[in-house]
């Protein structure tokens, strides 16, 4: 008996023109609505001799008389797109840089700045100058490269290892330092742990510690942008970009977010930094499928896997993803950027407790996103040893200057602890503020108020 071979070549291996028209291709909104009506149970009928199941839950599924369980292993791993190889040579012949030499240099300097600031601040934490820090060594290209392909008005939700996104968007060294030292110039008003940056002007939502909570929020924000543009077509089209690690993708919120973004056709780009570790947990203990990218298809989301150490690849991919996200009235896109977490998870972690030093050294030597872009720039003739040294020296000086300025600043007024819980201070909070003030009055030696702007008087309101 002849068997019908049901498995099609994997979409990833098909040229765009050959793409099968499948349910994985999000349809325009109108068609979605039509499809929903089509899929209404009462209108789905099963014609005799039909080759396809007409169950409302899977309308394009062909019948098969051969029982075969699909095996993840029978599908090749999704490929990893790259533009520039480890030696800085261009491997995608269709690639043409869309940035001037000055623009590339600027983005390279952003990556360098994050990496130099990381080293200094990590040491500063070790000296007890700040309570906590997280570096993003090895992931500078993902953050700077993706951010560089977004528009200024695009809204960003991040996890915590995206310093490069802030830097690329215009966060200054002073902005970083004010937050890290929780001084009175910190827009977070000294309420959040270090590295929990946020910016209104740059359209980046304030970072919160709970993992993956930002993902369904990003879907909702993207839906808001979409609706606002429907209501006022003069608003330029915008997308939301949401960053997260491969560990966070195990949270239920990841599932909720991708599913709701797909069903509501939200213009959101989900950007996963797959760096191989969630603190001490390697990916083998995080998932058993083909990374995060393979999941996107299951949600009906266009997906790509990219070499996260290749600045040009992440930039190109994000640029295209943004275009896709705005098509057909909006739809989600998933990018999985493959990298390696060169550093410890945070200042509270010693990663040599769970991975070999030699593995890390290997990665550093073999493939570093900053070195890779540098090789490309040197080959192009817009960078050299001298410029590198000059850049590193001046960035280091600037970081140290911003550091000492921020460290010297006063802390916000103590009153700040009671504000912004609600839009207005509630009677309860006013009463508690008074009570704290009287406590500070009666036990002056028990509290150090010297650093706080206005001392205890800020509580008089």
Partner 1 sequence: MRSSTIRPLSSALARASRAPPSATPALLSRRRQYSTHPPNAKLNLPTDYSTTALLAHESKSALGNPELPPEVRNGTTKRMNLFQAINDALSIALAEDESVMVFGEDVAFGGVFRCTSKLAETYGGDRVFNTPLTEQGIVGFAIGAAAEGMRPVAEIQFADYVYPAFDQLVNEAAKFRYRDGACGRSAGGLTVRMPCGGVGHGALYHSQSPESLFTHIPGLRVIMPRSPLQAKGLLLSAIRSNDPCVFMEPKILYRAAVEQVPTAAYTLPLSKAEVLKEGSDVTIVSYGQPMYKCLAALEKAERDLGISVELIDLRTIYPWDKESVFQSVRKTGRCIVVHEAMVNAGVGAEVAAAIQEDHETFIRLEAPVARVAGWSIHTPLLYEAFNAPDVARIYDHIKRVLEY
Least distance between partner 1 and beta carbon 218 (Å): 6
Nearer to partner 1, 6 or 33 (CB): 33
Q: Decide whether 155 or 292 has the Cβ nearer to partner 1.
A: 155
DSSP symbol at 421: S
Q: Which is nearer to partner 1, 74 or 231 (CB)?
A: 231
The answer to whether the Cα torsion of 119, 125, 127, 129 is positive or negative is positive
The token pair that represents 88 in the structure block: 């800085």
Instruction: Return the number of the residue (38 or 52) whose C-beta is nearest partner 1.
Output: 38
Quick one: which of 311, 313, 316, 314 has its CA closest to 372? Answer: 311
**Nearer to partner 1 (CB atom), residue 291 or residue 300:** 300
Helices 369-380 and 311-325: angle between axes, nearest 10 degrees? 100
- Over its C-alpha atoms, the chain yields an Rg (Å, rounded) of 25
Nearest CA-CA partner of 88 in 388, 381, 384, 377: 377
Question: Toward partner 1, which CB reaches closer, 81 or 243?
Answer: 243
Q: How far is CA 257 from CA 27, 151, 214, 235, 374, in A?
A: 19, 22, 9, 25, 36
Min dist CB 13 to partner 1, Å, is 30
Judge whether 168 and 108 are in contact, CB under 8 Å: no
CB of 223 to partner 1, least distance (A): 6
Burial annotation 43-73 (CB, 10 A radius, 16+ → b, else e): eeeeeeeeeebeeeeeeeeeeeeeeeeeeee
Of 168 and 203, the one with the shorter C-beta distance to partner 1 is 203
Rounded to the nearest whole angstrom, what is the least distance from the CB of residue 426 to partner 1 in the complex?
4
Tell me which residues touch partner 1 (CB under 8 A): 33, 155, 157, 186-189, 191-192, 196, 198-200, 205-206, 208, 210, 213, 215-225, 227-228, 230-231, 240, 252-253, 255-257, 259-260, 263-264, 420-423, 426-428
CB of 118 to partner 1, least distance (A): 23
CA distance 330 to 32: 12
The CA angle 179-185-188, to the nearest 5 degrees, is 50
Instruction: Specify burial of residue 74 (Cβ count, 10 A radius: 0-12, 13-18, 19+).
Output: exposed
Smallest distance from the beta carbon of 190 to partner 1, in angstroms? 8
C-alpha span between 273 and 252 (Å, rounded): 18
Tokens encoding 439: 């406590």
Nearest C-alpha neighbor of 123 from the set 409, 364, 344: 344
Closer residue to partner 1 (CB): 291 or 412: 412
Min CB(259)–partner 1 separation in Å: 5
Helix ranges (DSSP H) in 232-346? 252-263, 293-298, 311-325
* Token pair of 391 as six digits: 């850049």
Nearer to partner 1, 207 or 402 (CB): 207
Least distance between partner 1 and beta carbon 332 (Å):
12
Q: Which residue lies nearer to partner 1 by CB, 251 or 388?
A: 251
- Helix spans in 127-200 (H): 140-148, 163-169, 173-180
How far apart are the two ends of the chain, measured CA to CA in Å? Answer: 87
* CB nearer partner 1, residue 11 or residue 220: 220
Give the shortest CB-253-to-partner 1 separation in angstroms: 6
The answer to whether residues 318 and 149 touch, using CB atoms and an 8 Å cutoff, is yes
Report in angstroms how near the CB of residue 414 gets to partner 1 at its nearest: 15
- Pair type for strands 80-81 and 333-338: unpaired
Q: Residue 21 or residue 231: which is nearer to partner 1 going by CB?
A: 231
Task: Report the distance separating Cα 46 and Cα 62, nearest Å.
Answer: 12
- Shortest separation between residue 109's beta carbon and partner 1, angstroms: 26
CB 399 → partner 1: shortest distance, Å?
A: 23
């Amino acid at each position: 008996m002849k068997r019908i071979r049901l498995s099609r070549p994997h979409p990833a291996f098909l040229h765009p023109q050959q793409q099968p028209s499948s349910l994985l291709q999000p349809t325009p909104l109108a068609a979605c609505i039509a499809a929903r009506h089509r899929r209404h149970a009462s209108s789905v009928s099963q014609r005799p001799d039909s080759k396809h199941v007409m169950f409302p839950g899977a309308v394009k599924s062909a019948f098969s008389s051969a029982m075969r369980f699909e095996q993840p292993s029978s599908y090749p791993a999704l490929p990893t797109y790259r533009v520039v190889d480890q030696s800085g040579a261009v491997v995608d012949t269709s690639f043409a840089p869309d940035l001037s030499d000055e623009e590339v240099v600027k983005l390279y300097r952003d990556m360098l700045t994050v990496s130099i600031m990381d080293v200094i601040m990590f040491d500063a934490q070790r000296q007890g100058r700040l309570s906590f820090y997280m570096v993003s060594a090895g992931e500078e290209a993902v953050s700077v490269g993706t951010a560089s392909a977004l528009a200024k008005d695009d809204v960003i939700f991040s996890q915590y290892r995206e310093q490069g996104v802030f830097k690329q968007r215009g966060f200054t060294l002073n902005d970083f330092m004010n937050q890290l030292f929780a001084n009175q110039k910190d827009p977070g008003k000294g309420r959040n742990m270090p590295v929990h940056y946020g910016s209104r002007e740059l359209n980046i939502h304030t970072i919160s510690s709970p993992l993956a909570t930002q993902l369904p929020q990003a879907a909702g924000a993207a839906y808001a942008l979409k609706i606002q543009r429907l209501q006022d077509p003069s608003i330029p089209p915008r997308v939301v970009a949401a960053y997260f690690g491969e560990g966070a993708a195990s949270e239920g919120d990841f599932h909720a977010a991708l599913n709701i973004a797909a069903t509501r056709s939200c213009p959101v780009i989900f950007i996963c930094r797959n760096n191989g570790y969630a603190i001490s947990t390697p990916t083998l203990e995080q998932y058993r499928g083909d990374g995060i990218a393979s999941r996107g298809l299951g949600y009906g989301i266009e997906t790509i896997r990219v070499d996260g150490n290749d600045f040009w690849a992440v930039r190109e991919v994000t640029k295209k993803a943004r275009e896709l996200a705005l098509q057909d009235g909006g739809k989600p896109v998933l990018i999985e950027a493959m990298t390696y977490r060169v550093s410890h998870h945070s200042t509270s972690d010693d990663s040599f407790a769970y991975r070999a030093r030699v593995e890390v050294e290997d990665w550093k030597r073999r493939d570093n996103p900053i070195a890779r872009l540098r090789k490309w720039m040197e080959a192009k003739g817009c960078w050299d040893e001298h410029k590198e040294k000059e850049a590193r020296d001046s960035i280091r000086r600037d970081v140290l200057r911003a550091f000492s300025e921020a460290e010297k600043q006063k802390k916000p007024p103590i009153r700040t602890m009671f504000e912004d819980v609600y839009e207005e201070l509630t009677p309860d909070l006013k009463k508690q503020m008074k009570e704290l003030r009287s406590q500070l009055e009666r036990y002056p030696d028990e509290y150090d108020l010297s650093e706080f702007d206005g001392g205890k008087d800020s509580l008089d309101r």
